[in-house]
Structure 1
Amino acid sequence: MSITNAPLVLYVYRCTVCGQAGKLHLPESSPEVTTACSACGAEVLAEWDGGVELVTDQPD
């Protein structure tokens, strides 16, 4: 079992097709990422929300 300390960044988006607001937690990569809307599948631009969370996989 491995323990990872990977900083994750909160990315947020609002779909221009269906209006869905969404968020993603992804490894820090760039201020903006292209992804698919979770509701309709349209391509959306998710922007870095500025929050960083430290996630650690801990055994139960």
Structure 2
Amino acid sequence: MPSTSIRKFDYDRNNRVLSVWFVASGKHYEFSDVPPEIFTAFKSASPKAVISTSTSAITSGTA
């Protein structure tokens, strides 16, 4: 999933936490209780879909 908006991401499988670092803001967000299959879909998604989904989760308070 190459992206110019996401600097890097990491997934802690034991704790089910997805961490995402953004390029422009430098901010780091953690998404709790992320099932492994969602992380797999995240890695495979187009950059536009990932940003849209991440932004929705952040603004809805689910991040």
TM class by smaller structure:
0.3 to 0.5
TM-score by length of 1: 0.37
Q: By percentage of residues, which structure has more helix?
A: 2
Larger Rg: 1
Greater RCO, 1 or 2 (C-alpha within 8 Å, sep 6+): 1
Bigger share in strand: 1
